Amino acid sequence: MPSKRMQELEEVSKELLKVLLSDWADNLLHRSLDKRTRVDDKLLGSQATAARLVRELTAAEETVARTLLERESELQRLLRRLRDLEQELARAREVGAELQSSDNALRRELEELREQSRRLEEEPQRDEDAVPSAAYVTQLYYKISRIDWDYETEAAQIKGVHYGPDIAQPIDIDGSRHSRCFVSDYLWSLVPTTW
């Protein structure tokens, strides 16, 4: 009998062990599956976050690249404008130097003419000086007005060529059709006022 009881006890122990082992394995499997599910959820969340970060980074890179291209384009435009302004400034300086040189030459010429005029006024006038004096006055009028008169025209016709700062301009005025005031004003308008 003890052996039978022992055998029964052994069988009950085995069954109990089976039940215990099967429940423990099931619990262990459930816990493992729960851990696996949590790890998978975290992994999916991390992947979603990484994908979102990659999209945001790509969008930021595109924005930065677009801004950089716009700034580069603006810089190139400003550099071209700067070169144009520098060239324009150089040309303006050249023109200014030429005008200054021309202005200085005209001032010297005017001073020489004034000096000659003063000397001529101081000298006693003689009959033989009348012809050179008329030539001098004619030369003086030409220096001031830059008009070369055509003396072979009819009495009422006023003809000549004005050699202005830019181009030569012909003069052809019918004196009988215009007042003396108009003719005088027109001719004086041709004379430069800057010295």
Whether the predicted pLDDT of 21 surpasses 80? no
pTM of model > 0.75: no
CB atoms within 10 A of CB 123: 10
Tokens of 121: 């006024």
Whether the predicted pLDDT of 83 surpasses 90? yes
pLDDT of residue 84: 93
CATH 2.40.50.100 describes domain 146-195: no
Tokens of 98: 């030429």
Q: Report the DSSP beta bridge partners of residue 160.
A: 149, 171
Q: Which of 160, 151, 152 is nearest to 183 (CA)?
A: 160
Residue-wise pLDDT tens digits, 89-139: 999 888 888 888 877 887 888 888 888 888 877 765 554 545 556 677 777
CB-CB contact of 190 with 169 (8 Å): yes
Residue-wise pLDDT tens digits, 32-79: 778 878 887 888 888 889 899 999 999 999 999 999 999 999 999 999
Q: Which amino acid is at 93?
A: R
